[in-house]
Amino acid sequence: MRVLIAGLGTMGRSHALAHHTHPGTIIVGLVNRSKVELPAELASYPLFENFEEALAQTSPDLVVIATYTDTHADYAVAAMEACAHVFVEKPLAGTVADAERVVSAARRLNRKLGVGYILRHHPSWQRLIAEARNLGGPYVFRLNLNQQSAGPTWEAHNALMQTTSPLVDCGVHYVDVMCQITDARPLRVHGMGLRLSDEIASDMYNYGQFQVIFEDGSVGWYEAGWGPMMSETAFFVKDVVSPNGAVSITDADKGASDDVDGHTRVGGLLLHRPGDDQMIDLPDEPGHQALCDTEQGWIVEAIISDSDLTRHMNDAVQSLRICLAADESIRTGQTISLGDSA
């Protein structure tokens, strides 16, 4: 299977390394708009600056898109129209309309479309979701991921914030977890945010939080912030409460908040029922690269086996819709009703 990878930041490099070692794929090209230093394993592959040129010259079977959010929809549709299947990093697009345009193209052209929800491929997060569902709803979701970033990491966050807030960029992961647990339709969203640095664009905020209410009565809170001013106290909260108890990630010592491996690590779960607490140890968790290997193996297998990804695509649009509603709420000061569109 011929693979083209567009975007060579943290995620793009990891996806490229996954295909470098995958026995069933061959990398036919890498795309990055600026010069970039690559690990030795990737240095010999053809490198392009222009996506359209790379697409035309390499004729890939699968295109992996890990560029900035504002290019996701156009690149994905172009790749599918060039007869390629697509794996695109989250968020799927910058607007709900663009996300729906990508999904529509996948259906119309009979292409597989995978979205980079890496937690779906993590056995410990799968266990957390299963334990929460076993408790039964309605649920209270308390989730956050604040990152105290400085130097190159802050520069990378600044670049991301040219198009996408931390609330949307990170939030789609954890809203997807909420939606997998409750299965209920989201009804309305209220958000608030603040620009905490003059280094970022005047119309962007680097700290945000929102509340979402679901049709089954479940309520969710999510918080995300980037920057050198962010606190590392309680930067990683993952807590699900139900009438029958709670399940929580208990590993408090997760390292620095900008440690990419720490964002997915669980370590252990505390399963609480009234009068009974159970610790669930989760040793030998996969690291970031191993998860990317699994994720790319999944999309390759989905193509080979002609898997039905309808639910996956719909879920990706729904989690994005909730986070973009939170962004709209922050910018307008209004609670956003999702109504029948969710």
* 5 vs 22: CA distance, rounded Å: 14
Nearest CA-CA partner of 313 in 89, 102, 142: 102
* 337 vs 231: CA distance, rounded Å: 32
Q: What is the pLDDT of residue 266?
A: 77
Per-residue pLDDT of the chain (342 residues; tens, 9 = 90+): 999 999 999 999 999 999 999 999 999 999 999 989 999 999 999 999 999 999 999 999 999 999 999 999 999 999 999 999 999 999 999 999 999 999 999 999 999 999 999 999 999 999 999 999 999 999 999 999 999 999 999 999 999 999 899 999 999 999 999 999 999 999 999 999 999 999 999 999 999 999 999 999 999 999 999 999 999 998 999 999 999 999 999 864 555 555 555 556 678 999 999 999 999 998 888 999 999 999 999 999 999 999 999 999 999 999 999 999 999 999 999 999 997 544
For the structural domain made of 120-285+321-341, what CATH number should be given?
Answer: 3.30.360.10
This prediction has a pTM of 0.92
Q: Of 3.40.190.10, 2.160.10.10, 3.40.50.720, 3.40.30.10, which CATH number belongs to 2-116?
A: 3.40.50.720
Residue ranges, comma separated, of all CATH 3.30.360.10 domains in the chain are 120-285+321-341
Q: What is the pLDDT of residue 342?
A: 44
Q: What is the pLDDT of residue 341?
A: 47
CA distances 308 to 50, 96, 123, 241, 302, Å, are: 32, 22, 22, 32, 8
Q: How many residues does the chain have?
A: 342
Backbone angles phi, psi at 90, to 5 degrees: -75, 155
Q: Which two tokens stand for residue 101?
A: 């345009």
Q: What is the pLDDT of residue 276?
A: 95
